[in-house]
Amino acid sequence: MGMIRVRVLNKQQARNIKGKTDLEKLEKMTDVEVHNAALSDPDAPSLTDYQRTQFKPFMFLKRKLVR
């Protein structure tokens, strides 16, 4: 397996990233349509209940890494 490069952004760089989300289209969608679109997205597989419990808040991880 090859090496994976991770690019760390500062706050300003992160704010300047342009997303590809069509916000007008999203605002017109119902909750059910958004849910179905998320389920059909192959890049964002659904998580099990157990997997969801394993997530930690970002700030917790950031503090842990800095120390």
Q: How far is CA 15 from the centre of its chain?
A: 15
Full-model pTM: 0.46
Q: What is the pLDDT of residue 66?
A: 54
Q: What is the pLDDT of residue 15?
A: 84
State the alpha helices, DSSP H only, in the chain: 11-15, 23-28, 31-40, 49-53, 58-66
| Residue 1 or residue 7, greater confidence | 7
pLDDT digits (tens, 9 = 90+) for 3-60: 888 888 888 888 888 888 888 999 999 999 999 998 899 888 888 999 888 887 666 5
